[in-house]
Structure formats: C-alpha cells, structure tokens
Amino acid sequence: MGKTHAAIDDHLAAFLTAQHLFFVGTAPSGADGHVNLSPKGLDSFRILDPRTVAYLDLTGSGIETAAHLRDNGRITMLFCAFAGPPKIVRLYGRGEVLLPADADFSALAPRFAALAGARAIIRVHLARIADSCGYAVPRYAYKGERNQLLDWADRKGEAGLDTYRRENNAKSIDGLKGL
C-alpha cells in the first residue's frame, strides 16, 4: 500500500503538479494551540528540487501557517487524487516564510504566476515523502478555479492589502506573531 520515497522523482512530480488542490497542516508548539489545516489552489505549488517545494501564499483572513512556521517550522502538505487512480502523497518537512523584502522571495517569485494578494512564499525542505492508497477518497470533477480571492485583492490594491494585513494578519488565533 504505502511507500516512502527518498526524493520527488519524475513520477511523483507529475502527480503533485497535476493536482488542482492541496492541503497544508501546521500546529504551534505546545499542547494548547490550534492545529491548522488550509486548502490551497490557483496553481500556487512548485517543486524547487527533489527535496524542496514551495507555494505562493496569498492574503487571507488568517495567518496560521506563517505563525506556526515561525514558531517551530513543522509542516505537512497533503495531495490527493480526486480524479484518475486513487493516490495520496504527504510531504513532511520544515518550512520557512519568505516575505517580498527577502532576497529568496525575489529569486523564487518568477517561478510563480503574478497573483494579486501574494504576501509570502512558503518554502519547505522535505524530511519525509510518503504515499498511500487513497482508496477512500471520493472522485470529484474539476470545474475550474475560483477567482474571488484574486478579484478581492485586485479591488483592495496594494495599499488596501497592506492595511488589511496589518489589521488581520499581525497575529495568529493563538496570539503568535504573524506578518
């Protein structure tokens, strides 16, 4: 059934990049904080090398992933096939938040589409790559991307996004530093 991989090979890369949706899981240190699970889409995922991946983080209502990564770096990404053969791939690693002012952000940004509301790049150095069957994952038909978040960011403009981030992304729900 399940298998671990030393690196992302061409077969795994094809699977990962074909998925329209993936999930990101993080948690703060200690036993009292909230575990966070976020869906991601909009062609925001990239494979940087066989043991490093990244995704473009867009402005949203929360800042849990960034706050948790700054706290302890732990992150898991989950990709599952909703069409085609059943399969699940989990990428476990240590993540870092790259902000637009960071040199590494500038170096990686050209690998992504220029999406309105981009606030960071999350880079993940992989410690474990594992797949499993996905036999219980239902089949869904992909009908297209939702553009509401991008439209909202366009309407806000850079100044409006800066204000929104200061007001809504400064701290996580557990009080950890966000942006």
Q: What is the pLDDT of residues 28-65, one digit of tens each?
A: 999 999 999 999 999 999 999 999 999 999 999 999 99
In a domain, 12, yes or no: yes
Task: Look up the pTM and report it.
Answer: 0.96
Q: Tell me whether residue 63 is in a domain.
A: yes
Residue 93 lies in a domain: yes
Domains identified in the chain, total number = 1
Determine how β-strand 118-132 pairs with β-strand 52-58.
antiparallel
- Amino acid 131: pLDDT: 97
Is the model's pLDDT at 79 over the cut of 90? yes
The answer to the question of residue 123 being in a domain is yes
Instruction: Find the mean pLDDT for residues 86-113.
Output: 98
CATH number of the domain encompassing residue 36: 2.30.110.10
**Residue 175: inside a domain, yes or no?**
no
Whether 1 shows a pLDDT value over 90: the answer reads: no
Residue 62: C-alpha distances to residues 58, 104, 110, 112, 141 (Å) = 10, 23, 25, 22, 28
Whether residue 174 lies inside any domain: the answer is: no
Q: What letter represents residue 107's amino acid? A: A
> Does 177 map to a domain?
no
Q: Look up the domain containing 8 and give its range.
A: 3-135+145-168
Give residue 86's pLDDT band: very low, low, confident or very high (50, 70, 90): very high
Considering the domain boundaries, does residue 176 fall inside one? Answer: no
Helix (H), strand (E) at residue 141: none
Structure tokens at 142: 């992909």
